[in-house]
Chains A and B, each alone.
Chain A
Amino acid sequence: MKELLSGNHAIAEAVRLSKVQFIAAYPITPQTPIYERISQMVSDGTMDAHMMRAESEHSAMAACIAASMTGVRVFTATSSQGLALMHEMLHFASGNRVPIVMACVNRVVAAPWAFGSDQTDTLSQRDTGWMQLYCEDGQEALDTVIQAYWICEKVRIPAMVIIDGFYTSHFIEPVEVPTEDEVDRYLPLPSLPNRFQFSDPAFLTNVVDAYQYTEFKRRLFEDLRAAKEVVREADRRFEEIFERSYGMVEPFEMEGAECAIVTSGSITSCARIAVRRLREKGFGVGLLKVKLFRPFPSEELREHLKDIRRVVVIDRNLSAGKGGIFWDEIRSALYSMEARPLVFGYIGGLCGEDVPPEMIERCIIRCMERKKMEDLPEWMHGMST
């Protein structure tokens, strides 16, 4: 049934449908409506779960880790400063191999203080060993939360399901909300093992030496790479039941394209419009949406971009001193190709600044004339449309 839902509320619905048993959360804009809606559902009995009113995001993640290790399905959500405060616990979660699903609603990280969407908060957590799935709209967010539980519990690695602050978190759109029965067919009932056993008591997470540490990390590394197949399988199974699928990387109008624009999150919707208009004007332009950021879909990107001459990457994020983070990762993934495309980076939409289709069109047209790659990105900010 279609319901009018904000991205945040769509995520809360997915948490209910996933039969999450334990939630620990702390308020922060623009994530708070997820926390509020789940609190309401737990309070009125719509959801049979424990809601822990944590006193910080750090404790919320700590509680999720411990509850997951005790064998219950857990959820939390955060943004920006909250995610930064969690940083220590994010490494701890992946190191303990707990299948936590966390919704992250992108927001700038201070200073200066601001509230708009900006992926730098989640991308700063790139190396914490979590999977990262960027969603374009509320429907994709709802579907991805459900998929994420299936993936995480298979590979025992936590995942962030990520949406843009305000654009996706607060915009209300029609969202197809599956029935409980449908979700139950897709996602098994929670059945995680309790790692605290009296019959076989283990001392979990104690101190290891360098050899043991490396073995643990190599397993995480290998399992995270192998998780790509699980992500693919999760999406395929999802399509069978719900007739919707997303892929790790979604091509749009890529047939016969010589130039590809690469986006993630809500900017993708504007890029779709820009690509259509440019196609109408006779430009051979296509679009690739990157949904999965960790593990990084290098092979898939190389496959989609093998006949492309120019790639334009738009980043709503910034690694100061380098450039856009998707741009950097994509260049690195394409380096092993014999015939590499030129890859141009554009920084745009920081702090939720609007990136309208006209601006994207202009970037593409400029890139058509560029002959060589630069070390630094261009700024869309201040660019006339």
Chain B
Amino acid sequence: MDAWDEYLRPGHMGCPGCGLAVAMRLVLKALGPRTIVVIIPSCEAVVSGTFPYTALRLPAFHSAFLIAAPTAAAISRALQIRGEEGITVCAFAGDGGTFDIGIQALSGAAERNEDFLYVCLDNEAYMNTGIQASSSTPECAWTVTTPKGKTGKKKRFMEIMAAHSIPYAATATIGYPDDLMEKVRKAKERKGTRFIHVLTPCPTGWRMAEDLTAVVSMLAVETKVFPLYEIIDGEHYRITRLPKGLPVREYLSIQGRYVHLTEEKIAEIQADVDKNWRRLEILAQSVISPERSNLRPQG
């Protein structure tokens, strides 16, 4: 690794404390120089820069909103036709572009097992357009379009992707960069459709101080709100970090988007988180021991 093994340059246009920009940097760092990047309208476009400037050091294409998956799939096929090998095509899409408007195109590409890595950068709302709710927005979270808190639960997207029997799917978050990069490297080694769901906290939209991005990311894991795991071939679940099991309140209370929650509501969310964790535990074949985790929440 040399000083230039970063593929997202400093000086990008993301907000202060942007978790998404950190995720893009880590993913590209793990993928290396032989990577073609597909982005779509989202905060990724803001981070990537405006013509004729760009923060990206790799060949990249700003595609349209619904089509991160078929765009990456077709680039990959065209490279194969041209006989160009050893290149990873990586599509970045936000939660809106993945959970909502892009789900059909992603499902089609995954069913065909097209050869590309799809990274969903999930900040749990349409942040680029100014904090409107998506189907990834958690229940009760405030957004501009859900002023009293969102009704309806966050879509369990990993289970949808697992149902496509794709070779590799994983969750990750920027608070655990080694885990994230390890998963990207694993994904890179495989062929077919690979999916990484990255929780990327957004201080602007989550209504919190911009120095809390990493902390809230770790708390999402340690409270079991966003467990870290991987799914091989849509079947074999493996939890990659055993959460401490902190009360969900610790995660919720530092975010302004949950400031309206009652005690009763917090208890309901806790029950829901516990239920989802139990389901994951049943699905997981093996759970790593807590000793193997060397990263701890700080602060």
Contact = CB atoms under 8 A, between A and B. Distances in A.
Interface of A: 21-22, 24, 50, 52-56, 58-60, 62-72, 88-89, 92, 194-198, 201-209, 212
A52 to B, nearest CB: 7
Given A59-B108, A207-B51, A66 B64 contact: no
Interface string B49-61: 1110010111111
Judged by DSSP, the binding face of A is mixed
Given A54-B108, A56-B108, A201-B56, A22 B81 contact: yes
Contact of B74 (A52, A56, A58, A195): A52
B226 to A, nearest CB: 29
B36 A22 contact: no
Given A54-B108, A201-B57, A207-B62, 12 more contacts: A52-B74, A55-B104, A59-B67, A63-B70, A67-B74, A196-B75, A197-B59, A201-B59, A202-B59, A203-B59, A206-B45, A212-B51
Interface size, B (range): 35 or more
B80 A62 contact: no
B260 to A, nearest CB: 35
A319 B47 CA distance: 43
Contacts of A196: 36, 59, 61, 75
Given A22-B77, A72-B82, A212-B51, A88 B64 contact: yes
A244 B104 CA distance: 44
A286 B80 CA distance: 53
Interface of B: 33-34, 36, 38, 45, 48-51, 54, 56-64, 66-67, 69-75, 77-82, 84, 104-105, 107-109, 111-112
Contact of A71 (B36, B78, B80): B78
Contact of B67 (A53, A58, A70, A203): A58
Given A88-B64, A198-B33, A206-B50, A65 B71 contact: yes
A63 B57 contact: no
A195 B111 CA distance: 28
Nearest to A205: B62
A53 B48 contact: no
A208 B50 contact: yes
Most A Cβ at <10 Å: residue of B54, B58, B81, B82: B81
B131 to A, nearest CB: 20
A376 B213 CA distance: 63
Contacts of A60: 70
B56 A203 contact: yes
A194 B108 contact: no
Nearest to B54: A203
29 contacts: A22-B77, A24-B70, A50-B77, A50-B80, A53-B112, A54-B108, A55-B107, A56-B104, A56-B105, A59-B66, A59-B67, A59-B109, A63-B70, A66-B70, A66-B78, A67-B78, A72-B82, A89-B64, A92-B64, A194-B78, A196-B61, A201-B57, A201-B60, A202-B60, A203-B48, A203-B62, A205-B63, A209-B50, A209-B51
